[in-house]
Amino acid sequence: MRTFKIIRPDETICPALTDKINNLTKPKGSLGTLEELALKIGQIQQTLSPTLQHPQNIIFAADHGIVEEGVSLSPKEITWQQISNFLHGGAGVNFLCRQHGFILKIVDAGVDYELPYDKGIIDMKVRKGTRNYLHEAAMTEEEMNLCLERGAEVVRQCHKEGSNILSFGEMGIGNTSSSSMWMTCFTGIPLEQCVGAGSGLNNAGIRHKYEVLKQSLDNYQGDGSPCNIIRYFGGLEMVMAVGAMLQAAELGIIILVDGFIMTNCILAAGKLYPEVLSYAIFGHCGDESGHKLLLDNMGVKPLLNLGLRLGEGTGAICAYPIVVSAVNMINEMDNFAHASITKYF
């Protein structure tokens, strides 16, 4: 299995960062979350003057064998059709990337379709969709390792291009099912509380989805290790995102975490390398029913709660201006001594 060297950011710089933040011309703590973000980003970058450079949003796309069991309202072909929409600039993620200055990369991790790679899609296809984990593991160990390595390769390219902050998104009909399986296996939260509407199931559809996933869990014969759970129930795009997140952390890149699926990916990454969480900023709490439970279980605080459930990285990109504000705060606000203002706290 691909290994990563992820080091928790050195805390030695934290007192100096805290002192700088506390001496900006404001009451101590009065900029709340912005102060917390500035401290975290300064610690990740090991500087009192952090920067954000060349933000990119990487969408990993793949199909899921479990869709054969009717767990999604949307048919499988939506995966490749939406990729076409990305290419034409008409999706939700496109206008947000344009608005906030993100480069968009689209990666085929395992779409069951012959995509037009000459249009700019990055071909990292491992296979045409996962196997149906109601009956067998979604992928082999070799396929899982390929996903981890190829996700890491995409991030290494972003790093060469000068990126020090990345958001990750996904496109894959059925991937809320795989995320629910990771969530229950890694947190111990009952499966029923992890299963939601996905792309729009009604109550009967959610119940059917739960029953299929419960049977899949009952049929599981693996050893319960993180690697085994990841490959047995994961999606190719999800495992590729795990590899991407681990590589980002190894390179000291800030990880902007999106919604339910990407939160489960950083959860899985953390089961392999707990230090990866030190590089993560959680963009939002989405409207998929299990997302808030998962964030609470992980003890993390998202920046936004806008009722989003689109995926694609949209919630992470929406949160980016808040991260920019935190960096601008620590770099552009004056301090009491220089401004000749008496400290008033």
Q: Give the position of tokens 């709660």.
A: 305
Please tell me the distance from the alpha carbon of residue 2 to that of residue 18, in angstroms, as a whole number.
37
Residue 249's nearest CA partner among 18, 16, 3 is 3
CB 178 within 8 A of CB 139: no
Element (H, E) at 269: helix 260-272
| DSSP SS3 for 121 | coil
Torsion, Cα 70 74 77 81, to 10 degrees, reads: -170
Give me the catalytic one of 143, 170, 288, 312. 312
Token digits of residue 39 = 């401290």
312 is catalytic: yes
Residue with tokens 């029913």: 289
Closest to 229 measured CA to CA, from 280, 259, 274, 272:
272
- As annotated, the active-site residues are 312
